[in-house]
Amino acid sequence: MLAHERGTPFRILALDGGGVRCALQAALLARLCQADEGFAERLAGDNSGPSGAPKIDLIVGTSAGSIMGMGLALGWVPERLVEFCKEFAPAAFPNSLASTLESVDGLATAAFSNEPLKALLETKVAEGTRLKDLKRTIAVPTFNACVAEDVRGYEAERCMQSCWRPELLHNMPGSDSGGVLSIDAVLRSAAAPTYFPLYQGYVDGGMFANNPAMAGVTLAVQYGVPIEDITVFSISTGCNPEALPVDDANQSRGLVQWAPDLISLLMSASSESTDAACRMMLGGRYCRVNPMLPDTISLDDAEAVPKLIELAGTVDLEPALQWLASQWGDAQTADLATETENSLSPDSPAGWRCSIQ
């Protein structure tokens, strides 16, 4: 159980996965901090500022979002995250998946190695830093794809050990994953199938929680936080315009036709279903910044980082700033919270997403 005072907001920051598009996410965080001093203080976990703003209670990030979350938990400011993205993209994705798939090797093995990314992270994170050593409470979704060596048979009570299963690594009190090295945790979460090899038997957490908002909510509830106290601020890595044309060729797609789009499809489906569930469960206590991208940017397009950072400057963040003021602000009252729930209802799309102007 957590030492949470019933009736006070439990603040969750949820950061989507999306490869190089995390540069957009980091730049959006930087803009929000510049516009809202209280949010900047919460993000830093600094209770000594002029407003005395309490910290964010839980940061939950998936895949590239888990790397952003780890950075915040280490005390990095968003501007540092933006600079890190400029190093991360070419290290993780030295060439595109499309070009790799043109070779025979690319069809038989992962397109990229996770070793360059691991080496980069090792230059940024102190050796031996475990999840429980981080300054902030963090959760990292990942997916266990390998059966433990000592598991045999199919007994019902051992099913969870012999099947693929989602896992949520975190440093909440009493966590059995607090001892996991922070770098290992985020690399487990960022091992996107076809892009990277499995990491320690794990694949990308985006397979079930690319938008990790609901993972954060369920973890908080598990630790005794009343659902009515939970507020979630969710930031995506941008929404690609990827709908397929309705034609005969697309109606009968097979494995070869689906292969280039399958990972993106699964991660988008995960994000959108979580978005819908959080809207229904939390109402006005949930806000998601999910800008529509002007054109498709693949998660391995390292050259798109400058464009993504520039794009963040065009996003209308006013609805998000209004939500932060009402739900995470210092002067929050029951009447204001109720007013926000009414104004940010599912019938008011502008209340849910910030759109590019």
Write out pLDDT tens, residues 204-261: 998 889 999 999 999 999 999 999 999 999 999 999 886 666 665 666 666 656 656 6
Q: Which pLDDT does position 353 carry in this prediction?
A: 43
Report the distance separating Cα 339 and Cα 325, nearest Å: 12
Three-state SS string over the chain comes to: CCCCCCCCCEEEEEECCCHHHHHHHHHHHHHHHHHCHHHHHHHHCCCCCCCCCCCCCEEEECCHHHHHHHHHHCCCCHHHHHHHHHHHHHHHCCCCHHHHHCCHHHHHCCCCCCHHHHHHHHCCCCCCCEHHHCCCCEEEEEEECCCCCCCCCCCHHHHHHHCCEEEEEECCCCCCCCCCEHHHHHHHHCCCCCCCCCECCEEECHHHHCCCHHHHHHHHHHCCCCHHHEEEEEECCCECCCCCCCCHHHHCCCHHHHHHHHHHHHHHHHHHHHHHHHHHHHHHHEEEECCECCCCCCCCCHHHHHHHHHHHCCECCHHHHHHHHHHCCCCCCHHHHHHHHHHCCCCCHHHCCCCEC
Percent of the chain with pLDDT over 70: 75
* Interval 142-154 mean pLDDT: 61
Other beta carbons less than 10 A from residue 294's beta carbon: 12
pLDDT band at residue 331 under the 50/70/90 scheme = very low
- For 66-122, write each residue's pLDDT tens digit: 999 999 999 999 999 999 999 999 999 987 655 454 444 455 678 899 999 999 999
Taking alpha carbons only, the member of 301, 306, 287 closest to residue 235 is 287
277-298 average pLDDT score: 93
Which residue bears the tokens 């990095």? 76
Query: Tell me, what's the pLDDT at 354?
Result: 41
Whether pLDDT at 21 is above 90: yes
**What tokens does 97 get?**
């998946």
Look up residue 103 and give its two tokens.
């070779």
CA distance 209 to 143: 9
Global pTM?
0.85
Which pLDDT belongs to residue 54?
A: 64
Buried b (16+ CB within 10 A) or exposed e, 52-82: ebbbbbbbbbbbbbbbbbbbbbbebbbebbb
